[in-house]
Structure 1
Amino acid sequence: MKQRRMRGWLLMLMLVLVGLPLLQAGHIIGGVMSYECLGNNRYEFTLRVYRDCNCTMCAQLDASAEIGIYRCSSAGNCEGQSQAQPYGTVSVPLASQSSIEEPDYPCLIPPDVCGQEGIYRFTLDLPVSSSSYFVAYQRCCRNVTIDNLINPDAAGATFMIELTPAAQLVCNSSPSFGTYPPIIICNNAPLVYDHSAIDPDGDMLVYEFCAPLLGGGPDLDPLYYNTCGGASPIPACPPPYNTVTFQAPNYTSTSPMGGNPTITIDPMTGVITGTPQFEGQFVVGVCVSEYRNGLLLSKVFRDFQFNVASCDPTVVADIEEDVQISDQEFVVNSCGDYTIDFVNQSFQQAYIDNFSWVFDVGNGEMATFNEWSPSITFPGVGTYEGYLYLNENTDCGDTARIFVNIYPSIEADFSFAYDTCVAGPVSFTDLSQTGSCCLTDWDWDFGDGQGSGLQNPDHLYQFPGDIPITLTVQDTNDCVASSTQLLNYYPVPALIVIAPSEELACQPAEIFFNNLSSPIDTTYTIVWDFGDGQFGSDISPFHTYEDPGIYTVSVDITSPLGCQTDTTFNNLVTVLPSPVAGFTYAPDQPSNLFPEVQFTDASQGAIAWNWDFGVSPGSQFPSPLFVFPDTGLYLVTQVVSHPSGCTDTVQMIIDVIPEIRYYLPNAFTPNGDGTNDTFRGKGFLEGAREFQFRIWNRWGEPMFETNDPLAAWNGRKNNVGQEAPPGVYLVVVTFKDPRGKPVEMKGYATLIR
């Protein structure tokens, strides 16, 4: 088995490399064979093979149909004969290839499908025999997408004809079919297809659904490709032939498309009728038996594929309606207007050849209108019935039934009343009218985001302005009308309210006067008197009182219409005196060497002090002494209190610097007496970085260098060479202080011996 598979894959690989098509199989959707007697024992055979040309990686129609001919003594059973020993063979070239036309559905758009028909014709000289001749062609395989067969992609097909002894004796010609069944039929749509055949001899034909014949198999192995189990038997194998296996019980040879009731074929006329109930692809076999004087002459086997799909309707009658009762029934309502402008929304307009509107316009008189969207005037209040006809009396027509209700007119109206100068509720009065029984609904839009469903509501506005008011009313006929009016609402507040109601604050006091009065906006003239000689005009102003005291505040409001109101708030604001914080300190520049700082109070009007030095502890003395624990920046805060309870605060930043003190001596005596024997700088270098100490003689020769602040020169070169002669030597010291500032010091060292 492994060697067989390997040979198959090697052959397929070779075909790919040389650019030949792969040995694909799935493509068959049907076929049929028939014959015509030409006389003198000569017959012309016609083989029609149908393929799907929309499938992926499918085989093409064979360039040559390999025909097998067998002569059998018993009907349909060629005992002792095999594919290797046929009566005869013939290789028939493809005569023609054409597309199968799609059916014309004037009102439906079927899905995209593609089918092709290949025709092979050949003649045979067959002497009269007491046995039947079986002429056959076999090919695998059928479409994998077929729904009613088991393993359709492994099921091949046999298209054959039996030339019986009775047919030979009378030079009979078999029935033949002229057209391929519709390549697409629509699900849930009635099917009527005339599948009748033509018999040139006028014999009686009997039709039935039957099982299509199997032939060949799915084997693509080159060793078996042309055998009876291969995809393309050469030649076709002898009978008997098995039949395809249906997906029973849902599908059978006599009920190939399932459903209840099933699709049927009339045995006398060959007409196939019924309504498909399932979408999919279905193999259908039809056998037509030919009788003459009660004697069976021949039986033609034809199978084909029905593609059942959901088809979209193209012509649908539709209008713009108020109510849709059903798919084809609509209601149009008009309130007080006797003329209706109908909007035709029918589709697809490209398939609509003619249309008309027919209405009963009163007194039983029917009027016809031929505009696409007509305007129709009705005689008065009432209900009228009409129709929109599309493609009338054709298979591609549709009709819409239309009910028109002409109701009495309805009119929305209202009035309002309010005090134009003093704010208060606005009273609205409904003045709407209807010709029907009565009004049923009121919908008020007060223009400020609020509304009401009462007939005569009151409403209090919080803000002034030119406010649009809309009333929408509805009556018992569901007729609706609206009315909008402009309300010029600019009264002054009935009561002036501000916050705070009283204020106690320390000097200087910034007060926010929040005007809570309603209704007011920026179109109003507002005058504030703050009681300290200052005035304001904002709706809600800020004001700063600089001096202590008790202040009376008043406000005057004038509306755009000239209405005026004012209020005085006696002793509203009390401003208490406040101290003035302040201090000095010494020394001016504290350092790590002098961290003790004396703070001196310079405040005014204070009776209590609270100091925060940026580090614990604080102090409550007027002029405290404080020792800072480290270098750095400190925020020092002084808070002082007045006898009124008011406070004041002042802050200063104190910089305690890291101080370095360093100096160079001017002479040394390296004589070994233990006194002044070496030379180095002296001082305080804590926190210094990148220290460098260098000495040169008078000729620029380096004598000593070190990065250690504690290292000293002993008078010898690099402290290990010969003694340097007495004289003056240049000294340079560089480093960076704790805050990174570069420092350079130059001096002279006098060496004395």
Structure 2
Amino acid sequence: MARKLILFFILLLSQFQLFATHIVGGELYYRYNGNNIYQINLTVYRDCYNGVPPFDNPAFIGIWDANNTLITYLNLPIIASDTIPPIINSPCFIPPVDVCYEFARYSGTITLPPRPGGYQLGYQRCCRNQTINNIVNPLNVGITAYATIPGSPAVNSNPVFTQLPPPFICAGLDFVFDHSAIDQQGDSLVYEICNPYDGADQNIPILDQNTINSYAPPFQNVIFQPPYNLSNLLGGVPLTINPQTGLLTATPNTIGQFVIGVCVNEYRNGVLLSKTRRDYQLNVEPCPTLVVAALQTPVLTCGSNSVQFTNNSFGAISYNWNFGDPTTLADTSLQVNPAYTYPDTGTYNVTLIAYSIFNPACADTTVGEVTLLPAYQAGFSYNLNPCSFSVTFDDTSNTASGATSQWSWNFSDGSPLVNTTDPTHTFPGPGTYNVILQVQSARGCRKTISQTIIIPPKIAAIASNGQAGCAGECNGQSTVNVTNGNGPLIYLWNDPAAQTSATATGLCAGTYTVTITDSTGCITTTTSVITNPLPLAATISATDAYCNGLCIGSATINLTGGTTPYTINWNDPQSQTGAVATGLCPGWYTATVTDDNNCSYTDSVEVLFSSFIPPLDATISSDTIFDGETVILNAVATGNFTYSWTPVAGLSNPAIQNPVVTPDENTTWYVTITDSNGCSNIDSVSLVIKQVLCEEPELFIPNAFTPNGDQNNDVLYVRGNTIKELLFRVYDRWGEKVFETTDPKKGWDGKYKDKLATPAVYVYYLEITCFGNEKFFKKGNVTLIR
């Protein structure tokens, strides 16, 4: 089993290596040696940084006729292989370390007799790198190195590219590469950017003699991933080739891996003989420089001719500055961050050369601009509006360094910045505000100024509310209080008299507006509400002198309206002054009320004798009982009463609402209730004594019961209405007591010690004391049935 698993993983690994990413490109050449013998040369490029499988050895070349029929194949051995060196033709750039390309050259000969239409030659291999940017699904896309041999009678060798392709080019830099070819016969060569061919896939990544015809011509172009196409293979300045010289140029701006195709077309006497295609993966890499010269520019000064320069270069060990002063040759410095004072305002060009710390032969140069302008002064004035919180501002900044072109007003009150020249701004309220103005001239000079502005409060007024005396009178008044106004003040009320003083008098109920104008013309208004009290009114009521003829009546007056406090005077003998007059005999009584505004009101009420009879209902807990039983008498009445029950014999308390009694004969009781005013009522209740029978069938016990849980005869009870006391015991046939109770409401449920008793005949003993103290005894049998 272990050997089978090892074999499985070996096969899986080998299959993975076949189609793992590695193939970079290739081209196919042939040279005619005479006598129909051709030397076939193949060059294949491999990624030795990301790739896994090695070069094929041998490589199988398919040979088809012009009708795409396989004629034969040729397997070529590797004759040479090496790494393509990463060359940058500049001492200042650092080549990337994550790029490695290898090439392998294959060669072999084959005899191919002349054939109409000639021959098609192709080498196919999968797969390309998954990280390629410009084609669709690169992990399942292979290459086809392709060449054609013309038909008879032409004798030809196809062109050969003179240089190996570069493994990478630098992003953002101009790329120039001599992609020319040489031709053995000296035929005319024309160069073009062309489509690379697809070839092989993950199903058959490598071809041999058995699979050589699996991907026969015509071969398919690779599919470009939008937005890439033949006109945009790399991004940035497009890749182009001079059709006469083969000079390849581009300025790529996207870092990544890109598949390109370069074709050379061979013409003889104006007739196309062959097309040789180089399929290649070009890496666009970031190429850092050893040194970068950088200074912080442009520099703009306003009012000063001295400039402190900031050196932002990196990778440098020394510097050479030229400050561009045409009046002297001494305007240079070797310092890192030098300062220089120019003779006058104007514009100067500053040159900085930075020398690499790693390679003194590498230097970078940058040029910056310095502009010196006259001094620029910011300023503003303002005008307060005395009647509001608005202020009009006026920009007074000078224009020596150019007209002011940008404004930024910050009013420090939480409002948005304002970018106009002379704004009018309304502040949220009175207070002290720090107004900040930032200005910039058309030539770039900036200045900031701030001023403290005090916004005074606006004129304000509050008028007092008032009240006329009695309802309907016009004797109210109101006084207005003014703050923040500049005197003298002018008042104008909108009452019928158009009063002009701070206090308006003789006002009826209503709302009044007063307008106040100060000496600066600022106006404010306020309102006053004059109210009339509601008319003084009252409701008067009396309670009767009740049933006993005493002078215990009362009269009550409830007041509304008017103005509190009230003064109340009754015309009773005591001249009472409260809202309630008490101790009144039957008769008429008058109350006179005066409020705080001396408004008055009078009303009368009559106190009567009462004929009130309090409701009463006498009840008994049971109107028929056995001798010796107890009952409860009850006087049903609502209120506070005294109670009197007769006859009193046997009553627990004849002076309470519900006495208890144990009668020995038929009786009728009478109850009288009396309230605190002497009003009373009487009612009665009767009781009948039944004869007590302390014998069967009045006393009964069944001879069988069925405790099976069906709620029917499940419990053995002793039945009887005359039972006062009871002793009930049950024994099994061996004389063991299985149940006992003294509670007539408790019976035997057929269990003994919480277990179901066995169905059988049981013996019981019963002893009963009835009402009237008569005794009853019995023994017997009872059957438990389940």
TM-score by length of 1: 0.43
Which is greater in Rg?
2
Higher relative contact order (CA 8 A, sep 6+): 1
